[in-house]
Structure 1
Amino acid sequence: MGRWQPLRGDLPAEVVRLVRELRQYVDRCETTTATVAAKTGYSRSSWLRYLNGRRLPPWSAVEGLGRLAQADAEYLRVLWESAAHAWTPGGAAGEPVPPTAPKRRAGRSEHPDTPVAAAPPTEGRWSSRGILMPGAGVWLAVAAACSLLAALLLARPWDTGTGAVRPPDGAPAGAPAWPWPLRSAVDRTGAACRSGGCRGLDPYREKCDRDGVVVHRLRAYGHVLTLQFSPGCMASWAEVETPAGTAGLRIATSGGDEQRAATGGAYTAMVGNGPDAARATVVVDGRQLGVARYDSWIDAVTGSG
């Protein structure tokens, strides 16, 4: 796919985080929105809206893409729930459609022996645009409901004095009260290091690969360059499939950290940074392949690298 469009600046951070995660899944699968649509049951136009932050995707769509990318369903559910909590729908809702009156034959009911009952009077009036305008009784009912809701909010019967708020229905099992912290995978991995403590260490010996995810991948010249990240270890590393014939495999960060693999090596040691700050590169046939979280490139090698 081409480079993703920038997201709107007014999107909540939770929505941005979900959309970026979904974009990463599409990149990881090396697929197109048309293929995603065919495999999830949601149209391509819908996926374009979801992946560009114009509409919040339903959980079933997110779950379907997560299955394609073999993502952690529990982690993804927390991302989606937090985005749903923060989402503010854009644009006005569609205009209501006047109700259709039941069809009757002139002066007769559907069954000849059954008298036609007079239709109950409809409170309110129809506007010139065909919209039913509520009458005074409806407005009184709405006002009473709002008053009751306000009283409940002031009384806060759910507040036990501890400041805790119950998570909404549909939250993952065992989720804490809002706001939900993103669950760390460190307990699942049994990793021996974390963040800066992983710098220069082998991701496989430290067991950081157990929850490793593909941040971005580039396939070219018979090789596959991958930027890997472990949520549990909070560390990144670079890998290359079919390492024979490659050189200069490395991972570098915006902060100046860098780890290199030996010539023909399949992966680098780790840097203690998340995927936003890291990029992986390798030299193949006189060209440098590179990947970052939202970008990939192929450049001619003009210097010592």
Structure 2
Amino acid sequence: MTRRSGPEHSLLVLARELAALRARTGLSLDALARRTTASRSSWHRYLNGTLLPPRALVQELCALADKPATRLLALWDLAAESGSPRPTAPPAPSEPGPQEPSASREGVRSRFRRPLLTTALAGGLALAAVLTAVSLPRDSGSAPRPEPLRPGCTGAECTGRSSQPQACAIAGSGTRTVAERRPERGPSMDIRYSPFCEASWARIWFGRVGDRVEISAPGQGTRWTEIKDRFDAEGYLSTPMVGGGPEGLKACLILDDTGERHCLTS
């Protein structure tokens, strides 16, 4: 069997990782397009490995999936160095070409004999046209404004759902950390609250396979997640949400090797 190599292989590896990350968010291509700076058709090409996405777009997807971007950006750099095809920029305006050779010298001279008044009048008319175009009101219906992004759930209806597909942790939504535990060694954890969705969740990072984190809120029960493999352990891993917060929340980290419990309250 012949192994693929070169730019095609590097691009396909990146595309596979991006597709897995997109699946983690639970977002459709349409939803992904609404929450990033790329269109649906562009995402289709990026996830199929036919085109190298912009580097900033990789960071956007990692933020949506609540994953550190370091590994994906390293794959992007490798694909870029391998010469993978990138989106092409609009062509720059071409330089004016040479004049038509059909004009005789006498014709050229005659053009310079125009009266100054004629040239000034032409310039004045052009300026008036520009000023008129600027002053005319624009048709507001020609470019409809996109609808504002709304959360996929709010309050108690968010309980049991993932924060990313519901747009609860998008940039600019006001999501904040209300409590955290960062030891010098071992797993770290925090409690996150989204005023956009009026819901909360807990995260773990630097953990090991088998480590577990859970979160509870009054009247919302307890939700938890567990590190299942090394990929989960490489970045942030979030619990499903509980409605409410930021007060009255409790999150606990349970270490697999010792059974120790480390808890936080908000």
TM-score normalized by the length of structure 2: 0.36
By relative contact order (CA 8 Å, sep 6+), the higher-ranking structure is 2
Greater helix content: 2
